[in-house]
Structure 1
Amino acid sequence: MTDIKDLPKKSGPSGGWGSMKGIKRIHAESHADPAAFDTLRRQNKPGGFMCSSCAFPKPANYKPFEFCENGAKATLWEQTRDRCTPEFWEHHTVESLKDWTDHELESTGRLTAPMRYDAATDRYVEVTWDEAFQGIAATLNRLPADDVVFYSSGHAGLEASYLYALLARLHGTNNLPQSSNMCHETTSVGLKKVIGSPVGTVIWDDIDATDCYFFFGQNPGTNSPRFLHWLKELKDRGGKIVTFNPVREQGLISFVNPQSPVDMATGRETVISDQYHQVRAGGDVAAILGMCKAVIEVDDEAARTGGELVIDHDFIAEHTTGFDTFIDFARRTHWSDIEHHSGLAEADLRAAAAVYMEHDRVIGVYGMGLTQHAHGALNIAMLVNFLCLRGNIGKTGAGVCPIRGHSNVQGQRTVGIAEKAGLVPMDKLRELFGFEPPQEDGTHIVDAVEGLIDGRIKGFVSLGGNLARAVPDQKRMEAAWARQELTVMISTKLNRSHLFPGRDAYILPCLSRAEIDEQATGNQVITVEDSFSHIHGSTGKRTPASPKLKSELEIVARIGKASLPPNPKVRWDDWIGDYGLVRDLIEATYPDDFRDFNERMFEPGGFWRGVPARDRIWKTESGKAEITTPPQLTSLGYGEKDGRYRLITMRSNDQFNTTIYGYSDRFRGIEGTRDVLLMNQMDMAELNLIKGDKVAMVSDYDDGEDRRLGGLSVIPFDLPRGTVGSYYPECNVLIAISHHDELSKTPASKSVPVRIERDGLAQS
């Protein structure tokens, strides 16, 4: 363990003036409309606009500025004055744009008109909306239903998402993969297996009442900066934070509150983590087991001597199964094995366990550092084990808290975007819409990509996103994407997926969430669900970037109207005119979650749709929380080997998912480039590398495919031995689509096996 006081602060604290400067720079570089500042003023407030960036909840008692640096960047980036008009294509072919960076593509500005790809000229050309809908319908109806995939990112609201899922099922398929397949599907599957609920159990009451956080593989400084305010409040009231992360992230080290005049004037920092443990990539299973073992040993000694027990045996007896097998395993596991697999010392894990035992109300927070491994679901099961030892699920101030990365990624699942037929109330759809919904499971994103590569999938409709860039096996994916019969991209800006058009290819430009959505009954409201399972209404006020833009809901509905036979119960035109009618349908389909939906959507802080596990209702096979005995001490799907490194793919401070705002990753001291490889200095010395040397990473995954990413500058960085880091999505070229979590199929992007080469020669 490194004591937090000893950590260097080369980049300065998170928040503070650095955050303000980052926002100012993106405002200038994005050529944002001055009115965007009014949008920021309303952002994440009741009756206002819900940020399209991360899914961190929106509080009822909001602050004057309820947005973070990344949320501001997302808004400014989307509210640019730049426009990518049809005239752009008079000067550029699709092929010529393939050398452009992701940042350059999006910097062309907002898309303004529907476009169709013309293979003869290798350009997109403007079409009318009716021409686009009729063309899409003709190809959709020519293709077998299960040959087409209806993919969605987490951007679209609940209303458009509900109709999108209905559109796919009316066409006869459950091919409804979603961006969560690539990040938190491990949460949906893993938590469902062990606590019976596929989402976190924490709500605002718990955040206000907790004594202690344990963080695993989550970086609030970049991915959910508004969380830092509540971490500061915990520290101000004397709480503790213990962090496990291979990368020393500035947001978990120190924070200057940008909304405090005193802190901004004096530079007063709040130390966030009381302990920071740099676990090896893939070592969380062993690290959590080590803490459990320490707790069990203290409890065993108390039982022997008549002291106070530290395990909540009443909770264990009433609410769990599998406890005895697990503690026997923990007792038998040698500390030397735990140290080897975690990369952490026994004394440090005991110190972390001591903090756990000192606090009555503990929240376990995690991100993709736990989910994106070949055994990511085991990571989550181990975290649940840890929390269950002291009854820290289902009581105020405690619980399991996954932090989702996209604003409505959880909500889209809630309203039916799911490839698993068993997750959707098909009987309700049958009753409401008078058709027979498909009963066979559809494609997960992994299945979809494999289907593209082998030619089984022939069409993709994408409600948002940049899928060709976001998924593993990027080079194979790009080639396969362009072989399709149909590609439809519903987008706000140009991205790399547009550069690999299918035979019939369309770009359909949509409104941003901040823009006015004027329909027959006036400006429409959309709704989103946050990471705490709260539902919020969102109203756009900005003038649309182009009069030719349509809302995501209208685009979905008009594709449905053009491609499906008339059905008196499927009222596309009425739904376009009044989104409240769609909310009535959502309530009718999911009455327990969405009671009085239209009346409650602007409730301050959102209305909670309920999570059974928070009430200690365990919808598992046993009817109890499942305590899991791990079959191995690592979340890796491969063994150790000389010359093999574990690559962590990371986001910079200047990006959101595949959107690259710029080239300043100030927390890591990297400026002007993304072509870097972060390495432990001892690993560098072993390979005879010095700072600035050019290297390539080569996949060491055993499937016979050649995967390589070159032109990387080596940068010494504080990482565990054997762990290296580089940026997503560039590193997707190194990840095999078949390398994923066993239960959820989430790509194993946080433990990619690679070798490092220099001058074309393998280093060993």
Structure 2
Amino acid sequence: MTQSGNPDQYEGAAGGWGSMQGIASVAGHAGIGVDALATLRTQNKPRGTMCSSCAYGKPAKPHPAEFCENGAKATLWDLTDARCTPAFFADHPVRALRALSDYDLEMEGRLTEPLRYDAQSDTYQPVSWTEAFADIGTRLRAMDPESTVFYASGKAALEPSYLYALFARIYGHNNLPDSSNMCHETTSVGLKEAIGSPVGTCVMEDFEHCDAIFCFGQNAGTNSPRFLHQLQQAAQRGCRIVVFNPIREQGLVRFTNPQSPVQMLTGQSTELACQYHQLRPGGDIAAMLGMCKHILAQPQALDRDFIDRHTQGFDTFVAKVESTDWAEIESHSGLTRAAIIEAAEVYLQSERVIGVYGMGLTQHVHGSQSVQMLVNLLLLRGNIGREGAGISPMRGHSNVQGQRTVGIAEKPELVPLDRLAELFDFAPPRKEGLNTVAACEAILERRIKAFIGLGGNLLRAIPDHDRMEAAWPDIELTVSVATRLNRTHLYPGRTAYLLPCLVRAEEDLQASGPQSVSMEDTFSHIHGSIGRRKPASEALLSEVAIVAGLAKATLAPNAKQPWDAWTADYAKVRDLIAQTYPDQFADFNARMFNAGGFYRGNPAREREWETEGGKARFMTPDTLTSLGIGDAPGRFHLTTIRSNDQFNTTIYGFSDRLRGLSGSRRIVMINRADMARLDLAEGDAVSLVCDADDGIDRRVDGLTVQPFNLPDGCVAGYYPELNPLMPLWYHDKASATPAAKGIPIRIEPAAAAA
């Protein structure tokens, strides 16, 4: 399980032959043909298929193979030969399927026909598209629109996403939660308040010019492996990479480039991080404030011209930093003063700095303040709004950022409603809608009558998993647009439909001919995507066709809402996007296949601050920890993680190669000192119990103790298996993003649990 003298820390490199073996393993399990391999050859390249995995950028000059291990797995998984047909459902009652693991459900393969749940037989049965659309439309027309929720996974492309949001608003609500609510809504809220932009300010080329990269709570090796190429190139030219993360992730330590014959043949790797600080969960605010304290003690190092011309709130922030003593900073960060100063010195010695972060920063009760502290750090030396510098969140789903750009948002102020009213002849609803947490609360209170899901596996992804599973079947109507069977589908509403769709790599043939779609990457670039593979079934419809079919069956006819024409030619939908957002999408159709995509712009990158006061804002934190529940005797803080063989709730296998682990996912990782204090041994069976005092028993039993290199008081385990431990109310205060990286728990031995 390990390649070093440290028995609790894998020391192998990311990438290399291990990455190739991981792809081969999934290819073997999925059962794929030459078509899938042909897709990989054009993946993330101009006029190719854009990856359906993460949202990392697509370069104008791609590598020979412009895909990573996780991207290849996602494509192979999409193009599997396995089929989940009506015959499978006839033989498998839904309640019996609940005994299967997430992996087992995925392994059944692609859904092939639309299905309706039959309560008497407890099975899904085939139904025609015409019948499905008609029945769903009839039921939606009979409901109060505000009692319905239209959820969107971050995978759907810009075209269906735009139409989906339009459908919801014409129908009469803004209840448009999406997967961003689960991960980077903290970014949207925190950055918007601080710099006026809800997204990062960097573009891919900035990584060619930076002198230092500071990474917080982001695991590139598993979640955005193509980013390793930029990190490797940066390290090789002398850029210094400093990492803050409770877990020592090998994807930020060293990398063997699979596209380098020398490294592959010799086993050589590139050292990435020059410093790696394993801080406490939630300790980022304190660590960054400590860095700022050291920097402010050297006033000549500040960019005073930038601060004076472009920022506000500086003096208040300085007063907070100066009044905070080092003992508090060390206690909350879990780092020594010397370690924090060591990191600050790299910042001081670097002319151009990029701050990178992931969900280790966003998924905390005070996650927005963590994001804003990173902004504060960058503002001190003018590291926002110039080449080679900026703030760069690494987004997850391939189009999660783009969906928000084109209107999937519960907040009406984020959408040009007056323009929509003009274009489509309706009165858009102005009442704020439900985000994911609010929608779940409404489901628990039995206030939601219908749930429509454009992709995703929301019931498995959300907090308070056990309580939500109990409430879900009471929803009057559930509709899931999906490619494979997942756990959400096993808790059908009183009336329930599964509507199978094409995947991005498959040919989408409509009345005007083959169609293309588009998506936005984490660097705010828009890319076109063409699918060329034969669909898994002749009965599949595209997401555009499904959204339009639902809308046409639900809404009153309107000449300004030609759903059939939009389905026939997606270029017409892109024209609508350009008319709705002319500053960002002008000449959309003409530019969508530009090499490297086209940049939709970001005022903060140009030092135009769309904030209250018209300047970038130093945001003074009111806490030194982003945890919502602090320390107590016997209490640990759990951070949920993903394995090397998974993308969100999709489980490809049981290897966590970059942590040196494999086999069961039902483990709890803990350091040996904490094991000794609890009198635990490797392999012991334990339960984790949520340590939030709200009168609800939340626990996960049947976990095995796994020694691992973690800070004291911190344990780690896999998402989504440990989601039942997270209360729905335990979320970022500003954005309602679930706080999955700092859940308060207690550990009980199996005997005590029994």
TM class, shorter-chain normalised? over 0.9
CA contact (8 A) 2:687 2:753 kept: no
Which one of 310, 322, 327 corresponds to residue 301 of structure 2?
Answer: 310
Q: Partner of 2:571 in structure 1? A: 580
Q: Deviations 1:585-631 (Å, cap 9, x if unpaired)?
A: 00000000101000000001100000110001111111111102211
Name stretches of at least 5 consecutive residues in structure 1 with no aligned partner. 300-308
1:67-82 superposed matches below 5 A: 67-82=67-82
Residues 720 and 8 (structure 1), Cα distance of their counterparts in 2 relative to 1, 3 Å cut: closer
Distance 2:203 2:11 in 1: 32
SS at structure 2 position matched to 1:697: strand
SS at structure 2 position matched to 1:544: coil
Distance 2:286 2:379 in 1: 17
Q: Partner of 1:99 in structure 2? A: 99
Q: Partner of 2:344 in structure 1? A: 353
1:698-713 superposed matches below 5 A: 698-713=689-704
Q: Partner of 1:606 in structure 2? A: 597
Which one of 502, 526, 534 corresponds to residue 535 of structure 1?
Answer: 526
Q: Partner of 1:232 in structure 2? A: 232
SS at structure 2 position matched to 1:412: helix
Distance 1:576 1:101 in 2: 36
Q: Partner of 1:343 in structure 2? A: 334
1:2-21 superposed matches below 5 A: 10-21=10-21
Matching of residue 483 in structure 1 with residue 467 in structure 2: no
Which residue identity lines up with residue 750 of structure 2 in the other structure? D
Distance 2:353 2:53 in 1: 27
Matching of residue 509 in structure 1 with residue 500 in structure 2: yes
Which residue identity lines up with residue 529 of structure 1 in the other structure? E
Matching of residue 42 in structure 1 with residue 45 in structure 2: no
Alpha-carbon offset, residue 295 of structure 1: 0.6
Which residue identity lines up with residue 424 of structure 2 in the other structure? F
Matching of residue 264 in structure 1 with residue 258 in structure 2: no
CA contact (8 A) 2:110 2:484 kept: yes
| TM-score where L is the length of structure 2 | 0.99
Matching of residue 223 in structure 1 with residue 223 in structure 2: yes
Q: Partner of 1:596 in structure 2? A: 587
Name stretches of at least 5 consecutive residues in structure 2 with no aligned partner. none
SS at structure 2 position matched to 1:507: strand
Which one of 359, 363, 377 corresponds to residue 354 of structure 2?
Answer: 363
SS at structure 2 position matched to 1:279: coil
Identical columns (%): 58
SS at structure 1 position matched to 2:548: helix
Which residue identity lines up with residue 545 of structure 1 in the other structure? A
Distance 2:577 2:619 in 1: 36
Q: Deviations 1:339-384 (Å, cap 9, x if unpaired)?
A: 0000000000000000000011100000000000000000011000
Distance 1:185 1:407 in 2: 15
Distance 1:562 1:70 in 2: 38
Q: Partner of 1:330 in structure 2? A: 321
Distance 1:250 1:487 in 2: 41
Matching of residue 470 in structure 1 with residue 484 in structure 2: no
CA contact (8 A) 1:410 1:529 kept: yes
Distance 2:733 2:741 in 1: 15
Report the more deviating stretch, 568-577 or 631-640. Answer: 631-640
Alpha-carbon offset, residue 196 of structure 1: 0.4
Distance 1:467 1:27 in 2: 26
Q: Partner of 1:140 in structure 2? A: 140
Q: Partner of 2:410 in structure 1? A: 419
Q: Partner of 2:631 in structure 1? A: 640
Distance 2:220 2:474 in 1: 39
Distance 2:449 2:192 in 1: 32
Matching of residue 655 in structure 1 with residue 623 in structure 2: no
Distance 2:718 2:613 in 1: 41
Residues 315 and 488 (structure 1), Cα distance of their counterparts in 2 relative to 1, 3 Å cut: same
Q: Partner of 2:154 in structure 1? A: 154
Which residue identity lines up with residue 581 of structure 2 in the other structure? Y
Q: Partner of 1:548 in structure 2? A: 539
Q: Deviations 1:496-515 (Å, cap 9, x if unpaired)?
A: 00100001100000000000
| TM-score where L is the length of structure 1 | 0.97
Q: Deviations 1:72-96 (Å, cap 9, x if unpaired)?
A: 0000011100000001012100010
SS at structure 1 position matched to 2:504: coil
Q: Partner of 2:31 in structure 1? A: 31
Q: Deviations 1:626-669 (Å, cap 9, x if unpaired)?
A: 10221111111122110111000000000000000000001112
Distance 2:5 2:146 in 1: 57
Which residue identity lines up with residue 684 of structure 2 in the other structure? D
Distance 1:485 1:172 in 2: 18
Q: Partner of 1:672 in structure 2? A: 663
Distance 1:733 1:9 in 2: 27
Which residue identity lines up with residue 477 of structure 2 in the other structure? L
SS at structure 2 position matched to 1:620: coil
Distance 1:756 1:445 in 2: 29
Q: Partner of 1:319 in structure 2? A: 310
CA contact (8 A) 2:700 2:725 kept: yes
CA contact (8 A) 1:184 1:404 kept: yes
Distance 1:419 1:329 in 2: 34
Alpha-carbon offset, residue 204 of structure 1: 2.2
Q: Deviations 1:255-281 (Å, cap 9, x if unpaired)?
A: 001000011000111001000000100
Matching of residue 569 in structure 1 with residue 560 in structure 2: yes
Alpha-carbon offset, residue 205 of structure 1: 2.6
Alpha-carbon offset, residue 298 of structure 1: 2.4
Report the more deviating stretch, 320-329 or 49-58. Answer: 320-329
Distance 2:220 2:277 in 1: 16
Q: Deviating runs (4+, > 2 A) in structure 1?
A: 4-11, 759-763
Distance 1:282 1:88 in 2: 45
Q: Deviations 1:96-128 (Å, cap 9, x if unpaired)?
A: 000000000010000000000000100000000
CA contact (8 A) 2:8 2:709 kept: no
Q: Partner of 2:423 in structure 1? A: 432
Matched residue count:
751
Which residue identity lines up with residue 523 of structure 2 in the other structure? F
Residues 762 and 332 (structure 1), Cα distance of their counterparts in 2 relative to 1, 3 Å cut: farther
CA contact (8 A) 1:756 1:762 kept: no
1:485-500 superposed matches below 5 A: 485-500=476-491
Q: Partner of 1:305 in structure 2? A: none
Residues 352 and 13 (structure 1), Cα distance of their counterparts in 2 relative to 1, 3 Å cut: same
Alpha-carbon offset, residue 26 of structure 1: 0.4
Alpha-carbon offset, residue 760 of structure 1: 4.4
Q: Partner of 1:630 in structure 2? A: 621
CA contact (8 A) 1:647 1:753 kept: yes
Which residue identity lines up with residue 619 of structure 1 in the other structure? E
CA contact (8 A) 1:290 1:350 kept: yes
CA contact (8 A) 1:419 1:442 kept: yes
Q: Partner of 1:695 in structure 2? A: 686
Alpha-carbon offset, residue 762 of structure 1: 7.7
Distance 1:408 1:5 in 2: 41
Distance 1:434 1:691 in 2: 65
Distance 2:167 2:407 in 1: 11
Which residue identity lines up with residue 78 of structure 1 in the other structure? D
